[in-house]
Amino acid sequence: MATTARQEPVATTRAGKRRRVSITPYLFILPHLLVFSLFLGWPFFYGLYISFHNFDYLRPEAQRFVGFSNYASLFNPASVQFDRFWSSLGNTLQFVLYSVPLLVVLPLGLALLLNTKTPGRNIFRAIYFAPWTLSVAVASLLWWWIFQSQGGLVNYYLDALGLGSPRWLSSMPWGWFAVVIATVWWTAGFNMIILLAALQDIPAYLYEAASIDGATGWQAFTRITLPMLRPVLIFIITTTVIASFNLFGQPFFMTSGGQGIALDGGPLEPVMLQIYREGFVRNVQGSASAMSFIVASLMIVVSYLNFRFLRQKD
Amino acid sequence: MNVRRWSLTLLIVLVAGMLAACGGGTTQSGATTGPAGGETAATTAPVAGGETAATAPAAGGETAAGTLPADCSNVALDYWNPFTGPDGPFMGTLTDNFNAANPNIQVVMTSQAEYYTQLGTAAASNSLPDVAIVHADQVATQAFRNVLRPIDDLVSQIGVSESDFPAPVWGAGEVAGKRYSIPLDIHPGVLYYNMDLLSGAGISAAPTNQAEFDAAALALTAGDTKGFLITSGFFSAQTFQTLLHQFGGSEFNADGTAASFNSEAGVRALQWMQDVQTKYGEPNLETDAEINGFKAGGAGMMMNGIWQITNVTGDAVEFQGQGTAVPQFGEQPAVWAGSHQLTLPAQSDADPCRDAAAGIFIKYLLDNSIEWSKAGQIPASNAVRESAEFQALQPQALIAPSVENAFFPPSVPGITDALGPMGEAVSAIMAGTQTDIKAALDEAAGRSDQILAENKTNFGDAPAGQ
């Protein structure tokens, strides 16, 4: 019966159990814990502190405690911040709604296609993943050129076909099309790779058993693939929602630095850009910090709901 | 196995290529913009704003121009500016010339975008440069935020005074009774026109008033060509301000405590812009679309900053592209202008040697601003503007007289925030998302007033500790 690697002579005669607590795991996570505390933990609490003050980091002499006043003015319709904050938050929520389904369904479709034995699938995998390696500025600039209303690639062909030239970057709803298309092109690859890895983890015998039982492809998909992918889907959806909430670069660069429809209070201004303007252009970091906390709370709620609805029902 | 090896090699080559491309100083690709309300050098082609590395300083003391105090050894100065557009390399040349002429003062120039955020974070970490360019409408804000220090002494030391510059641009550098900056240049709005299209329509000279402008724009609006392009993004606010002043109004009252751009003059100005867009232009264009359209030869005229001169005139375009002073559409001559001002940022350990060197560098820039004007800037210095060399520089010399009619916002901290709502209202009307001009301007003025009031409480009357 003995399966332990080594026999401890004392273990069998002692009355109680001896537990050895190893500190090795803690040493492994210590470096990350230090970095986390320094770059995420401390700023979090300092940001909370800042949100209760009138704060300008270059004017410490003007700093004063204002309690919940920064939060209150975000809920007070008469203040200047109210309109800007809630309209930009609405814009970001719209973007989340438009982009997350696309960023889950499309990569899933691509992953399913790449999970077959077609020749050259590695090349396709590289092609679909490649945009994700670009920085946001490069990806946005590419699409800025493509969506130019006067002479951009898309409008050039639309014009040639006699379909007019929509203002992709200066009118709505075209602005959303431009930003969502650019974002999906840019980040679908990442979700695709993760889903592909998860697909390859699904045991083949499940599909074999299903085909023996006479299941159609669609039934195999909904009864085997999706349930087996559930934990990965939770992860993908959560990270994609969080990333979409952090929308900043694409509308900023594609409107030449937050001009036109991405101006203050504009229909394409995401909440992160509004927070940036509040903190670094208007230099009222207390108010910007309060905005960040409200957005963060909202993201926590959304993530929690995501987990609750999608988790395994054991 | 072969495919594997091949793809691995390709991957290594790609990664190596990407890493190589990541090298370099503060580069900026694509269109750049400053904070809302400030001016920008919007570009259509990616321009790398790099550093001008200091050449090795010669051993020992003699300088060709300006002398450091005897006990100062070689000095290295940091010089920051936001010139990431087509004008950047011209300032680089000027800096290189200074370095060559002054072996014991070496200046390292850095151009970057998101300029005021950069200045702010540098101030927080006490790593501000020795000399910095600041836009005229930002001087008060940066002074109150302790980014800049007063330079009254430096001004008298290098021998510049009020009489050397036009009054409005000199006044922009005075904040709360102290001098914080010296004007280097004035960059007004300019009317760019396609001379080939104009002469094709039988017009031999650029328009100088409303009637000539209408005639030219109407004649040119035919088929695919547009007479005058205007956007709903950048430079629409500045165009609005130009017309507002020409029709007798102003953005704020004299001491900057209330917004006044929703006056009748303001409504007239925005109505003018809307009409021009309907009659001669394309509706709802995004920022830089008018530049792209003009460069492609599809537009007769457009208005933008003088800094675009090297981008849309002369050798940069295939047709005869030219620039001229903005016509006088209203009762008064007026033109929106920005100005780059030279400042000394705050230092926790001010070193008299570096200060003296900075003074010499600033004087050199002022005296040699003819070089800078080749980038499409107009020198603020009266002496340089009146010099024969500048008078020979076209079209800058032709546009130069208009800077006498330039206006600047009041030197009140946070004034660019208060200009924000005005820009948004203009954008909304030009994009068509709002149609009631009076209502849009009134609502914007209300928000502007709120911001002005908040700034007054926030900033007080004078920068702290000065």
For residue B66, name the pLDDT band (cuts at 50, 70, 90): low
**Tokens read off for B124:** 């927080």
Closest residue in chain B to residue A282, using alpha carbons only: B417
Is B449 strand, coil or helix? helix
Find the CB nearest B124 among A54, A57, A261.
A57
Summarize the confidence of residues B12-20 as an average pLDDT.
Answer: 61
pLDDT at B410 over 60: yes
Using the structure block, give the residue that is written with the tokens 């300008």: A56
CA distance B123 to chain A (A): 7
Summarize the confidence of residues A226-233 as an average pLDDT.
Answer: 92
Q: Chain B contact for A251, CB < 8 A?
A: no
Closest residue in chain B to residue A140, using alpha carbons only: B30
Measured CA angle at B433 (ends B431, B438), to 5 deg: 95
The tens digit of pLDDT for each residue in B308-358 reads: 888 899 888 999 999 999 999 999 999 999 999 999 999 988 888 999 999
| Chain A residues whose beta carbon lies within 8 Å of the beta carbon of residue B292 | 148, 150-151
**Tokens read off for B455:** 């700034």
Give the percent of chain B with pLDDT over 90: 68
The tens digit of pLDDT for each residue in B107-134 reads: 999 999 889 999 999 999 999 999 999 9
Lowest mean pLDDT segment, chosen from A193-197, A268-272, B62-66: B62-66
Summarize the confidence of residues B416-439 as an average pLDDT.
Answer: 92
pLDDT at residue B49, as a whole number: 33
Q: Specify the higher pLDDT residue, A229 or B464.
A: A229
Q: Is A256–B42 a contact, with Cβ atoms under 8 angstroms apart?
A: yes
**Tokens read off for B73:** 């050894």
Find the CB nearest A150 among B116, B234, B292.
B292
Alpha helices, H only, B133-209: 139-144, 152-158, 167-171, 195-200
**Tokens read off for B135:** 């836009």
Using the structure block, give the residue that is written with the tokens 């909430």: A245
pLDDT at residue B465, as a whole number: 61
For residue B1, name the pLDDT band (cuts at 50, 70, 90): low
pLDDT at B273 over 60: yes
CA distance A274 to chain B (A): 11
Q: Chain B contact for A154, CB < 8 A?
A: no
Q: How far apart are CA A202 and CA A112, in angstroms?
A: 12
Give the percent of chain A with pLDDT over 70: 93
pLDDT at B208 over 70: yes
Which of B:186-245 have CB within 8 Å of A?
231-234
| Chain B residues whose beta carbon lies within 8 Å of the beta carbon of residue A258 | 33, 36
| Chain B residues whose beta carbon lies within 8 Å of the beta carbon of residue A172 | 433
Find the CB nearest B147 among A58, A151, A261.
A58
pLDDT at residue B37, as a whole number: 35
Provide the ipTM. Answer: 0.70
DSSP state of A150: T
Find the CB nearest B146 among A59, A256, A257.
A59
Q: Chain B contact for A166, CB < 8 A?
A: no
Sign of the torsion angle spanned by Cα atoms B363, B49, A248, A266:
positive
Domains assigned to chain B:
75-187+338-407 (3.40.190.10), 188-336+411-459 (3.40.190.10)
Q: How far apart are CA B43 and CA B36, in angstroms?
A: 17
Cis peptide before B410 (omega within 30 of 0): no
Q: Is A137–B233 a contact, with Cβ atoms under 8 angstroms apart?
A: no
Q: What is the CA radius of gyration of chain A?
A: 26
Q: Chain B contact for A136, CB < 8 A?
A: no
Average predicted confidence (pLDDT) for chain A: 90
pLDDT at residue B38, as a whole number: 37
Residues constituting chain B: 466
CB A288 within 8 A of CB A273: no
Q: Chain A contact for B285, CB < 8 A?
A: yes
Give the CA distances from residue A83 to residues A300, B91, B418, in Å, rounded to whole numbers and listed in that order.
23, 41, 16
For residue B303, report the phi and psi dihedrals to the nearest 5 degrees. Answer: -115, 135
| Chain A residues whose beta carbon lies within 8 Å of the beta carbon of residue B7 | 122, 126
Sign of the torsion angle spanned by Cα atoms B404, B409, B410, B411:
negative
Q: How far apart are CA B136 and CA B419, in angstroms?
A: 14
Alpha helices, H only, A115-225: 121-129, 136-146, 153-160, 174-201, 204-212, 217-220
pLDDT at residue B61, as a whole number: 37
Q: Chain B contact for A172, CB < 8 A?
A: yes
Closest residue in chain B to residue A148, using alpha carbons only: B289
Using the structure block, give the residue that is written with the tokens 């790398």: B48
Q: How far apart are CA B133 and CA B154, in angstroms?
A: 16
Q: How far apart are CA A171 and CA A34, in angstroms?
A: 46
Q: Is A151–B293 a contact, with Cβ atoms under 8 angstroms apart?
A: yes
Q: Chain B contact for A138, CB < 8 A?
A: yes
CA distance B264 to chain A (A): 24
The tens digit of pLDDT for each residue in B445-458 reads: 999 999 999 889 88
For residue A118, name the pLDDT band (cuts at 50, 70, 90): confident
- A284 closest CA partner among A295, A275, A293: A275
Find the CB nearest B145 among A58, A122, A259.
A58
Average predicted confidence (pLDDT) for chain B: 86
CA distance A259 to chain B (A): 5
**Tokens read off for A41:** 């933990």
pLDDT at B276 over 90: yes
**Tokens read off for B152:** 């009254």
Find the CB nearest B287 among A62, A259, A282.
A259
Instruction: Name B194's bridge partners.
Output: B321
CA distance A303 to chain B (A): 32
Instruction: Name B174's bridge partners.
Output: B179
CB A192 within 8 A of CB A110: yes
A293 burial class (0-12, 13-18, 19+ CB within 10 angstroms)?
Answer: middle
Task: Choose from A56, A76, A282, A287 for mutation: most chain B CBs within 10 A.
Answer: A282
pLDDT at A18 over 80: no
| Chain A residues whose beta carbon lies within 8 Å of the beta carbon of residue B447 | 80
CB atoms within 10 A of CB A64: 9
pLDDT at residue B26, as a whole number: 35
CB A252 within 8 A of CB A135: no
Sign of the torsion angle spanned by Cα atoms B241, B245, B249, B255:
positive
Q: How far apart are CA A204 and CA B145, in angstroms?
A: 65
For A73-310, which CATH superfamily applies?
A: MetI-like (1.10.3720.10)
CB atoms within 10 A of CB B391: 13
For residue B332, report the phi and psi dihedrals to the nearest 5 degrees. Answer: -120, 145
Instruction: Name B190's bridge partners.
Output: B304, B325
For residue A4, name the pLDDT band (cuts at 50, 70, 90): low
Q: Chain A contact for B117, CB < 8 A?
A: yes
| Chain A residues whose beta carbon lies within 8 Å of the beta carbon of residue B147 | 58
Q: Is A59–B464 a contact, with Cβ atoms under 8 angstroms apart?
A: yes
| Chain B residues whose beta carbon lies within 8 Å of the beta carbon of residue A282 | 414, 417, 451
| Chain A residues whose beta carbon lies within 8 Å of the beta carbon of residue B29 | 137-138, 141
pLDDT at residue B254, as a whole number: 85
CA distance A180 to chain B (A): 18
| Chain B residues whose beta carbon lies within 8 Å of the beta carbon of residue A57 | 120, 124
Which of A:55-94 have CB within 8 Å of B?
56-59, 61-62, 79-80
Q: Specify the higher pLDDT residue, B55 or A196.
A: A196
Is B271 strand, coil or helix? helix
CB pairs under 8 A between A and B: 146
DSSP state of B188: E
Find the CB nearest A261 among B120, B145, B431.
B431
Q: How far apart are CA A182 and CA A272, in angstroms?
A: 18
Q: Is A259–B420 a contact, with Cβ atoms under 8 angstroms apart?
A: no
Q: Is B117–A169 a contact, with Cβ atoms under 8 angstroms apart?
A: no
The tens digit of pLDDT for each residue in A288-314 reads: 999 999 999 999 999 899 888 877 665
Say which residues have a Cβ less than 8 Å from residue A254's Cβ, sequence separation at least 6.
Answer: A140, A143, A144, A147, A169, A178, A179, A182
| Chain A residues whose beta carbon lies within 8 Å of the beta carbon of residue B427 | 259-261, 263, 266
Q: What separation, in Å, do the N-terminal and C-terminal C-alpha atoms of chain B show?
A: 73
Closest residue in chain A to residue B444, using alpha carbons only: A80
